Amino acid sequence: MSIRIRLLLSFSAVVAVAIVLFVLTAFLSSVAVTGDMRSISSFYNIHYSIHPLTDEEESIFLDLKYLAKQDPAQLNDQELLASYDLKLKMVQAGLFVRQDDTITYASPSLAEPKMGEALPQYDAANYTIRSTLNVGNRFFSYAKFDFPFPNGEQGSLYVMRERSPWTEIVRTLLPILIVVLLAVILLTGLLLYRYVTRSIVRPLDVLRRSAEQIKEGDLQFELKPQSRDEIGQLSMTFEEMRRRLNESIQLQLQYEDNRKQLISNISHDLKTPIATIKGYVEGIRDGLANTPERLDKYVGTIHDKVTDMGRLVDELLLYSKLDLKREPYSFETIDLATFAQDAAEEIGFELGGQGIQVEYEMTANTAPFDKAVIMADRAKLKRVVDNLVQNSAKFMDKEMKRITLRVGIDAGASAAVLEVEDNGAGMRGEVLPHVFERFYRGDDARSTHTGGSGLGLAIAKQIVEGHGGTIEAESSVGAGTTIRIRVPLAEGNADMRAGGGE
């Protein structure tokens, strides 16, 4: 059974019970007040039949009754009757006297043309003394006494009081009131039903539809909670779930995209040298290398290409190991200053032949320091410096070729800084953000056949990050490039001896 139907049933039940209780209460209270099992509509009648007069009126009535018993002749005395009537008038009541069928005295304020017909019949036994009567639109309660006049005529004496028109209105409106009351109960039930449906069933419907959407694989929507109640919280949690799911799927798609890109890059980078090698091998096969010099040149080129491919595969392997965090690090304490100094010396020796000057500087831009002790994998750190220096050497375009290694300590004294600066060609602004991406090579690098896999900086970045550090590039076209590495200082940097103990 759906919640909607259950709610409808429960509200109907509530309304039904309310109506039954209402009727029962009305009935029981009328019984309780009147002591009689009569219908509620006669409630007022019964009430006023029991207490038709107030105490003062009652005492005047009793006086008159006494008179009627003892000396009925006096009830012909109009003056006396008028004086009683005046007393009654003071308490808003009136007096009627009937002799046989003629009304001999009628209180002017209560007189009604049809009163004669409405007054009850003579009853010598005085069975019903108190009751109510309707004359036209007016409603009266009265006490009556029937007695014989001395001449044997039937006399009746009425002390009467007009009841508030409200009483009448309530009496006539009672059925309408009951209908209105029932309508109010019904309407309340209906409104409550609508309210609950709106606040529970509808949001649940929305949730169900959203879940179906997700099932169909559509995550590109937003679920806005309509309220702060439990259902609103459920919607919020649901929305959070959708968002996370969407994020993870997007990430998955991006990984997938990356993987495809990677495969396409690798295939491309392997295809080119393979095509070259194939061409040269075919040249040899077809006898194009007909002189020893040519053969030598062909074989030399093939060897170079194979070496390139070997390096590419090596770099790829290293990159993938670093990426998968499968490449172990062997950390030791290293003074970066000494390390950079040694590296500069060694690299300077290697690159001296190409006319490149390699210098080491203790930087002036950071706080003064003696040592910059870090925890590092010496071989991998050397690999980073080699990659950077190789790039610098590759993109040299000046007569005076210079590479500077510079070490410092960050202003916050929390990280050691190593800069590799060159005065080469530099990079354009739009290239800079991408240089650390794997397989990324600047247009110049592609067009000038400088070689390289585009993995050098990506590997450098992986290694630096493996040390908990950061790497950034700064460059201006024509002026040169600076790659800056920050690695956290080891604890107790100040009292460490330099060089890791070699």
Ligand X SMILES: Nc1ncnc2c1ncn2[C@@H]1O[C@H](COP(=O)(O)OP(=O)(O)O)[C@@H](O)[C@H]1O
Size of the site for Mg ion (CB under 5 A): 3
Contact between 442 and ligand X per CB under 6 A: yes
269-275 CB contacts, 8 Å cutoff, 24+ apart = 269/312, 269/439, 269/453, 270/309, 270/312, 273/305, 273/306, 273/308, 273/309, 274/309
Of the candidates 452, 458, 481, 493, which one interacts with Mg ion according to CB under 5 A? 452
Q: Using the rule CB under 6 A, is 441 a contact of ligand X?
A: yes
Return the number of the residue (203 or 424) whose C-beta is nearest ligand X. Answer: 424
**Binding partner selected for residue 351 from Mg ion, ligand X, none, CB under the kind-specific 5 to 8 Å limit:** none
Name the minimum Å distance from CB 481 to ligand X. 4
Among 103, 185, 440, 484, binds ligand X (CB under 6 A): 440
CA 502/CA 480 separation, integer angstroms? 34
CB of 406 to ligand X, least distance (A): 14
Q: Which tokens go with 358?
A: 């390699």
Residue nearest to Mg ion (CB): 456
| 347 touching ligand X, by CB under 6 A | no
Please, which residue, 457 or 496, has the CB nearer to ligand X? 457
Length of the chain: 502
Rounded to an integer, what distance in angstroms lies between the CA atom of residue 185 and that of residue 177? 12
Chain centre to alpha carbon of residue 78? 89
427 binds, among Mg ion, ligand X, none (CB under 5 to 8 A by kind): ligand X
Nearer to ligand X, 161 or 406 (CB): 406
Establish if 424 lies at the interface with Mg ion (CB under 5 A). no
Q: Residue from 231, 340, 435, 496 that binds ligand X (CB under 6 A)? A: 435
Closest CA to 485 of 421, 429, 422, 431: 421
Provide, rounded to whole angstroms, the least separation between the CB of residue 454 and Mg ion. 7
What residues are paired with 132 via a beta bridge?
Answer: 141
Task: Dump the DSSP string for 399-462.
Answer: SSEEEEEEEEE-TTSSEEEEEEEE-S----TTTGGGTTSTT---HHHHHTT----S-HHHHHHH
For residue 424, the partner it binds in Mg ion, ligand X, none, with Cβ less than 5 to 8 A by kind, is ligand X
Count of alpha carbons within 13 Å of 256, Cβ hemisphere only? 6
CA dist., res. 65 & res. 155, Å (int): 11
Residue 377: name its binding partner from ligand X, Mg ion, none (Cβ under 5 to 8 Å by kind): none
What is the Cα 2 distance to its own chain's centre?
Answer: 26
State the number of binding residues for ligand X (CB under 6 A): 23
The interface partner of residue 52, options being Mg ion, ligand X, none and the CB cut-off 5 to 8 Å by kind, is none
Apex CA 467: angle with CA 465 and CA 472, to 5°? 45
Q: Which of residues 450-489 bind ligand X (CB under 6 A)?
A: 452-458, 481
Say what the alpha-carbon torsion angle 414, 420, 426, 428 is, to the nearest 10 degrees: -30
Q: Which of 171, 147, 146, 142 is nearest to 159 (CA)?
A: 142
Q: Which of residues 364-393 bind Mg ion (CB under 5 A)?
A: 391
> Out of 45, 156, 210, 392, which residue is the one contacting ligand X (CB under 6 A)?
392
Q: Which of 94, 426, 442, 456 binds Mg ion (CB under 5 A)?
A: 456
**Closer residue to ligand X (CB): 229 or 397:** 397
Q: Say if residues 163 and 139 touch (Cβ distance below 8 Å).
A: yes
Q: Are strands 356-362 and 401-409 parallel, antiparallel or unpaired?
A: parallel
Residue 395 lies near ligand X (rule: CB under 6 A): yes
417 interface partner picked from ligand X, Mg ion, none, CB below 5 to 8 A per type? none
Nearer to Mg ion, 171 or 383 (CB): 383
Determine which residue in the list 157, 358, 445, 496 makes contact with ligand X, applying CB under 6 A.
Answer: 445
Minimum distance from residue 326 beta carbon to ligand X (Å):
21
Question: Binding of ligand X at residue 425 (CB under 6 A)?
Answer: yes
Closest CA to 238 of 261, 213, 257: 213
Return the one option of ligand X, Mg ion, none that residue 235 interacts with (CB less than 5 to 8 A, by type): none
Sites of contact with Mg ion (CB under 5 A): 391, 452, 456
Binding site for ligand X (CB under 6 A): 387, 391-392, 395, 422, 424-427, 435, 440-442, 444-445, 452-458, 481
